Structure 1
Amino acid sequence: MRSHLAEAGACDLARPACQRCIKYGAECPGYRDQQELVFRNADPTAVKKRKKRTAQSPGVDESPSSASDTGFSTPALSPNGDFMFTSSKDVVLANGVNCNAVAPLTRPVFQHWTSHSVPIVLNVYSNFDFIQDIYSSCNVDGPLIWAAHLFSRTYVTNLRYPTAITRDAHAETERELGTYLGKTLNSVNKALNTPDGAFRDDVLATIWLLSNYELLIGSLNRTETLSPWHLHARGLYSILKIRGVAPLYTAKGRMSFWPAYSMVQIQSLINNTECPPESREWFDIIAQSLFPGEGLGLQVSLFITKVCSVQAKIFSFFRRRDFSGASRDYKDLFAQMKTATHELEDWMESNPMDNHMLEIYVISLYQSAIVKGFNAVKLLINFLTHYPPCPIPLQQLMADRDYCIEIAQTAAQGILESVPRILGPLAAKGKDKSPKTVFDAVRTLWPLICVYVIDICRSEQKLAAEEYLFYIGRELGVRQGLNTYSTKLTLPQEARIPFGEHGGL
């Protein structure tokens, strides 16, 4: 067995705490080829492509034009964990500084990994104008830059260690991420303590990016309403409320409004609560002057507010075990769900879509609201079957229940069928993924979680959703996809199963 100390200098495998020669009796390979650690376009998954090209063309230098196909620089990890540059196209950061405005070098130049945090984030959100525009004008020491360090380091770590990481390396990474999380939160708090803090788009974008970071690390729990993700969602609502209606009259204001408000609505769906009371006023202003492509998003958001209103009332009956109130309001609540669904379907029929990626996502969000809303109605029906004085005949209740199950399962199937159109086929497992796929994965998380955890969906649908979520967590580095959601919602027993049944839906 050859010791690490036999090498001239510190073995790079000692970071993080290799010890393979001690644990397994394997010969220490010493220093690794630095080029094996290269990842292209700020994308760690491109290492495999680099290895294949190196194997196919030994001894031949790669031309600058082949190093990148998207214009991002090509950082590599040095033995001590820093980035190094290889020759590639120039990258201009948000503040106008050119990351790589030098002639091709014969020797690598080492830079700390934070030098490429912003390019990584811009690559992940390359199809999202909201982030692209804000980074083009944000302060180099502002909260959004700290958030970029936090997000990109987490993303790279998740891809390099998709399932496991040594204890020492995990502790080191946690300390590093904790430092950047603390700096990001401190920077946000400092900004919000200024008179114009809530009106700064970079602050809003930072909190939005933090909510995405929580999905990267998988911290969102089905029943923990005080989790960091929920706190960030509430923070986004607070900022939207402070800003008022003025930003909604401008294209830039709308661009920052929709991502934040969408997060707020998803939180309402998760928590079975009403959407913000200001929603109707905001929608009325937006409806007065719709921008191109905004109509579908507005209609779906309006539908979600109606669903949230219905399910909030239903769960209030459950908390109080109010059989009488539930019996009194049942017909109206069921009619509200059916009417809202038919109105949106009629609108979509008269306003055909062109299958743009954003439209596919918005439809998936609409379908998740159908699953969530009609599941709430189904639970209410179960509840009422245990109430003998209920004026609705049991036969009618069970027919309504079958209707809810059918429409929810149809919507769930639509969600599952949309995933390959957004992320590509699962047959692509193990192949290199573009960083922009991460944002697409984050946007499909909530609809897939709906199918996975809500009992109204068929068992095969739940299994398919689980497979997609595992793919997102394992292959794309979004750890939220690996969450098992073992905890159940707190419900009265009568709401779980209809009278006379002992299982099933």
Structure 2
Amino acid sequence: MVFRGKPSGGCSRCRSRRLKCDQKTPSCSQCIRADQKCTGYRDLTALMFENQSDDVIRKAKRIHIKAALSRQKLYESEQRYRRLQQSPQSQQLTTPIDDEAACFVYGNYILDGKSANHYSFIEQLLPSNGDSAIRSAMKAVGLAALANIKTAPNLMRAAREEYTTALAHTNQALRDQSLSKEDSTLGAVILLGMFEIMTCNGSGSMQRWRNHVEGAGKLIEWRGEEQLRNLRGLSMFRHLKISIITNNIYTGKPTSSFLTHLCQVASEIETSETRFIDKFSNIAVRFSNFCAAVKNGELTEPWSILEAALSVDNDLIRWSSTLPSFFSYRTVPVDRDLDTQVQVQARVVYGDHYHIYNNLSAAMVLNNYRALRMVVHEYISGYAGEIQQLKHQFLGAAMLPTNEYSKLKSQSDEIAKHLVAGICASVPYHLGAVGNAVQNNTHIDPRNSPHGALGGYALIWPLYLAADRAISPPSLKRWAIMYMDRIGYSMGINQALAMSVLLNRGLPSRTLLDTEMEIPLGPDMPSEESSD
């Protein structure tokens, strides 16, 4: 018997209409007024208690059935886990969300076929059982991306817990002379840096990313030439060196002589395609040292800086003139008649054409080339313009007649426009929209890309640099912001949202490196401290 609280004694009609019943006999006033038959009143004492034996029995049965289903689900999960342990790609997944996080990383970054295999070494490094730094780091990346996509603070908290675990395991490994040289330790550092890209919300995130990249650089030097003698070590080295060199360029740090030596050794190994990429890296190393010399005051005279920048640009021209067929791409024109369909295309393609590449790796390498050369031409255009404006101060010292510097600046700006157009033309391919997708879709949905989230991940910095150039019109900036937002929200990469904010505010990319700045996570994404 269960106490039910004080019930209403009114008639049925008054109770159903929430009317005050005066309970007069033989009929209440409300029913008389409505000319309705009054049903009479209830026994309040009997209603104070209710026999719920049958309800209790039914509830107990439901609990029993639910418990049985839970046991069955647990049994099925255990069986699935055992099958995973016995497979070559085994993982220790304890909950469905762990499974989803791991699948997200596999499906979006460890790709097969023509896509890229950019992080394929991660799969080889996962232990068959037990906790590890690289397993926790992979979970952290997957959970962070899913948290951003689903706007789920609870997932972000779980991601940060896995990140903390991975960081603790990694620090422990770094204190051991043998473990610090293991591929799994370097792989964990790579994923820890990737986590900062997923969760980027300002200069603090970028500083942590830089710390991971610089730490990876120290590990690479510690591992020495031995790492280049096996395919996995070589793959990890090639993956990391671009991040290290890029960080050096933006921070004005020289690339160490030993890392430069390792880059040279790597360029003499493997196929013509990878050797070609390594030669590009060697040029990037040279440019990073040039940037450091300018920042440190080793190069101060405008004509000396201009001469050095032109020399790097000549190296890049020679490199691009010998592109193997692997890097060739097809240019597809876009009809620009002023009809409704073309207005739709304008949202997908910026300009009058887009590119189709052999695979994502080729597109990524060529965008790295375009981005690097754009930065080189920042120096060329800037210092050519400075010499032209202050030519009376440099008579007798300049390389060219002073009236030639205005022409050089104009040529440099035209080259930069061409490089910007190339990056914009690569966007549909990076995000998986080519052919009919371009002709028929009102927009690109990055979630449908055959390249997974890797296509968007690799596009963020080149697209940002293209939109941030002084020679880029406002329409290009708006178009880039649109795609930064799509990459960020649909692929779970917060750095894309941070870049979008910088473009909206007209702030240079160095803002994230040089100032204390926090960027909102986005209109729909609460911070990790928010309640569920």
TM over 0.5: yes
Which of 281, 294, 302 in structure 1 is aligned with 2:274?
294
Q: How does 1:35-434 map to 2 (within 5 A)?
A: 93=84, 96=87, 111-127=95-111, 129=117, 131-139=119-127, 140-161=130-151, 170=153, 172-219=154-201, 221=203, 227-291=207-271, 293-316=273-296, 325-348=300-323, 353=328, 355-384=358-387, 385-386=389-390, 388-391=392-395, 392=398, 393-425=401-433, 427-429=442-444, 432-433=447-448
RMSD: 3.8
Structure ID, larger Rg: 2
CA drift of 1:457 comes to 3.4
Q: Which letter maps to 1:347?
A: T
Structure 1 residues 474 and 138: alpha-carbon distance in aligned structure 2, compared to 1, 3 A threshold: closer
CA drift of 1:349 comes to 6.6
Structure 1 residues 114 and 350: alpha-carbon distance in aligned structure 2, compared to 1, 3 A threshold: closer
2:273 aligns to what SS in structure 1? coil
Which of 473, 479, 482 in structure 2 is aligned with 1:464?
479
Structure 1 residues 478 and 94: alpha-carbon distance in aligned structure 2, compared to 1, 3 A threshold: farther
Paired residues, number = 390
Query: What TM-score do you get using the length of structure 2 for normalisation?
Result: 0.64
Residue segments in structure 2 that go unaligned for 5+ positions in a row: 1-68, 330-357, 434-440, 512-532
Q: Distance in 2 between matches of 1:93 and 1:84?
A: 14
Equivalent residue number for residue 41 of structure 2 = none
Contact 2:306 2:380 in 1 (8 A): no
Contact 2:432 2:448 in 1 (8 A): no
Structure 1 residues 91 and 133: alpha-carbon distance in aligned structure 2, compared to 1, 3 A threshold: farther
Contact 2:273 2:324 in 1 (8 A): no
Contact 2:121 2:235 in 1 (8 A): no
Equivalent residue number for residue 33 of structure 1 = none
Structure 1 residues 117 and 233: alpha-carbon distance in aligned structure 2, compared to 1, 3 A threshold: same
Residue segments in structure 1 that go unaligned for 5+ positions in a row: 1-77, 101-109, 162-168, 492-505
Contact 2:245 2:255 in 1 (8 A): yes
Equivalent residue number for residue 499 of structure 1 = none
Structure 1 residues 216 and 404: alpha-carbon distance in aligned structure 2, compared to 1, 3 A threshold: same
Structure 1 residues 85 and 291: alpha-carbon distance in aligned structure 2, compared to 1, 3 A threshold: farther
Contact 1:94 1:137 in 2 (8 A): no
Q: Which letter maps to 1:260?
A: L
1:245 aligns to what SS in structure 2? helix
Structure 1 residues 97 and 337: alpha-carbon distance in aligned structure 2, compared to 1, 3 A threshold: closer
Contact 1:211 1:229 in 2 (8 A): yes
Spell out, residue by residue over 1:419-460, the C-alpha distance to the aligned partner (whole angstroms, 9 max, x if none): 211212374545853695212211111211211333243444
CA drift of 1:141 comes to 0.9
Q: Which letter maps to 2:488?
A: G
Contact 1:371 1:408 in 2 (8 A): yes
Q: Which letter maps to 2:376?
A: G
Structure 1 residues 279 and 351: alpha-carbon distance in aligned structure 2, compared to 1, 3 A threshold: farther
CA drift of 1:378 comes to 2.1
Q: Distance in 1 between matches of 2:281 and 2:234?
A: 14
Contact 1:296 1:362 in 2 (8 A): no
Query: What TM-score do you get using the length of structure 1 for normalisation?
Result: 0.67
Equivalent residue number for residue 452 of structure 1 = 467
Q: Distance in 2 between matches of 1:270 and 1:429?
A: 31
Q: Distance in 1 between matches of 2:244 and 2:284?
A: 11
Percent identical residues: 15
Q: Distance in 2 between matches of 1:489 and 1:400?
A: 26
Contact 2:267 2:279 in 1 (8 A): no
